[in-house]
Amino acid sequence: MRDRSLEEFVGGEAEAGESDVDVDEDEGDVEPATVTYGWSPEGAPCDACETVVERRWRDGDDAVCSACKNW
Ligand SMILES: [Zn+2]
Protein backbone atom coordinates (compact mmCIF):
# COMPACT_ATOMS: atom_id res chain seq x y z
CA MET A 1 0.00 0.00 0.00
CA ARG A 2 2.71 2.39 0.95
CA ASP A 3 4.89 1.54 -2.10
CA ARG A 4 2.01 1.87 -4.50
CA SER A 5 1.07 5.37 -3.36
CA LEU A 6 4.64 6.61 -3.69
CA GLU A 7 4.96 5.19 -7.20
CA GLU A 8 1.82 6.91 -8.45
CA PHE A 9 2.86 10.23 -6.95
CA VAL A 10 6.37 10.21 -8.43
CA GLY A 11 5.22 8.99 -11.85
CA GLY A 12 2.51 11.64 -12.19
CA GLU A 13 4.75 14.48 -11.20
CA ALA A 14 7.60 13.50 -13.53
CA GLU A 15 5.26 13.21 -16.48
CA ALA A 16 3.71 16.65 -16.02
CA GLY A 17 7.08 18.30 -15.44
CA GLU A 18 8.62 16.88 -18.60
CA SER A 19 5.80 17.93 -20.92
CA ASP A 20 5.96 21.48 -19.57
CA VAL A 21 9.65 21.74 -20.37
CA ASP A 22 9.20 20.32 -23.87
CA VAL A 23 6.55 22.87 -24.80
CA ASP A 24 8.68 25.77 -23.62
CA GLU A 25 11.72 24.67 -25.59
CA ASP A 26 9.84 23.85 -28.78
CA GLU A 27 8.18 27.24 -28.89
CA GLY A 28 11.35 29.09 -27.97
CA ASP A 29 12.61 29.34 -31.55
CA VAL A 30 14.15 32.74 -32.17
CA GLU A 31 13.07 34.44 -35.38
CA PRO A 32 16.09 35.13 -37.57
CA ALA A 33 16.81 38.82 -37.98
CA THR A 34 15.42 40.38 -41.13
CA VAL A 35 17.94 40.15 -43.94
CA THR A 36 19.19 43.62 -44.66
CA TYR A 37 21.92 42.85 -47.16
CA GLY A 38 22.58 40.57 -50.08
CA TRP A 39 25.72 38.59 -50.69
CA SER A 40 27.06 38.11 -54.21
CA PRO A 41 30.26 36.00 -54.29
CA GLU A 42 31.13 37.33 -57.75
CA GLY A 43 30.20 40.89 -56.93
CA ALA A 44 27.27 43.00 -58.07
CA PRO A 45 27.00 46.70 -58.93
CA CYS A 46 25.75 49.14 -56.33
CA ASP A 47 22.45 50.68 -57.46
CA ALA A 48 23.66 54.15 -56.49
CA CYS A 49 27.33 54.41 -57.55
CA GLU A 50 27.67 51.22 -59.62
CA THR A 51 30.74 50.09 -57.75
CA VAL A 52 30.91 46.31 -57.91
CA VAL A 53 30.87 44.93 -54.41
CA GLU A 54 30.29 41.50 -52.90
CA ARG A 55 27.96 42.73 -50.22
CA ARG A 56 25.13 45.12 -50.94
CA TRP A 57 22.79 46.55 -48.36
CA ARG A 58 19.07 47.07 -48.70
CA ASP A 59 18.14 50.73 -48.93
CA GLY A 60 14.46 50.87 -49.76
CA ASP A 61 14.10 49.08 -53.10
CA ASP A 62 17.78 49.49 -53.94
CA ALA A 63 20.78 47.36 -53.12
CA VAL A 64 23.70 49.64 -52.42
CA CYS A 65 27.29 49.37 -51.23
CA SER A 66 28.19 50.19 -47.66
CA ALA A 67 29.39 53.65 -48.71
CA CYS A 68 26.01 54.54 -50.20
CA LYS A 69 23.91 52.96 -47.48
CA ASN A 70 22.07 55.45 -45.35
CA TRP A 71 22.91 54.34 -41.84
ZN1 LIG B 1 27.53 52.66 -53.78
What is the CA(32)–ligand 1 centre distance, in A? 26
Supply the pLDDT for residue 41: 93
Q: What is the pLDDT of residue 28?
A: 58
pLDDT in tens, 2-61: 677 666 666 655 555 555 555 555 555 655 556 688 889 999 999 999 999 999 999 988
Residues 6+ apart with CB under 8 A from 57: 36, 37, 63, 64, 65, 66, 69
Residues paired with 39 in a beta bridge:
55
Q: Compute, in angstroms, the gap from residue 71 CA to the centroid of ligand 1.
A: 13
User: Is 46 exposed, middle or buried, given 0-12, 13-18 or 19+ CB atoms closer than 10 A?
Assistant: buried
C-alpha of residue 52 to centroid of ligand 1, in Å: 8
C-alpha span between 65 and 2 (Å, rounded): 74
What pTM value is reported for the model?
A: 0.49
